[in-house]
Amino acid sequence: MVRAGRVVDALETLREHAATTLALGDVDLSVNMIETFCLVFAEQEDASRAARMLGASRA
């Protein structure tokens, strides 16, 4: 979605699936979800949120 320019749709989809994804308890999948949020926030030029997500994914 992001590559197609549908950043808002991508963010909505991520938000819909984030809790379920994290509840699975898969660390790699959780980190991937956080990194995807980082990408979406960066595309929205929200540097503060993107940096926060990047930091969280590296912790």
Res 3: pLDDT? 87
Whether 38 has a pLDDT exceeding 90, the answer reads yes
* Tens digits of residue pLDDT in 5-36: 999 999 999 999 999 999 999 999 999 999 99
Query: What's at 21, amino acid-wise?
Result: T
Whether 59 has a pLDDT exceeding 90, the answer reads no
Q: How many CA atoms lie within 13 A of 58 on its CB side?
A: 7
Residues contacting 18, CB < 8 A, separation 6+: 33, 37
Q: How confident is the model at residue 48 (pLDDT cuts 50, 70, 90)?
A: very high
Q: Token pair 């956080």 is at which residue? A: 34
CA angle (28, 36, 38) in 5-degree steps:
115
Res 39: pLDDT? 94
Residues contacting 43, CB < 8 A, separation 6+: 2, 7
Res 29: pLDDT? 95
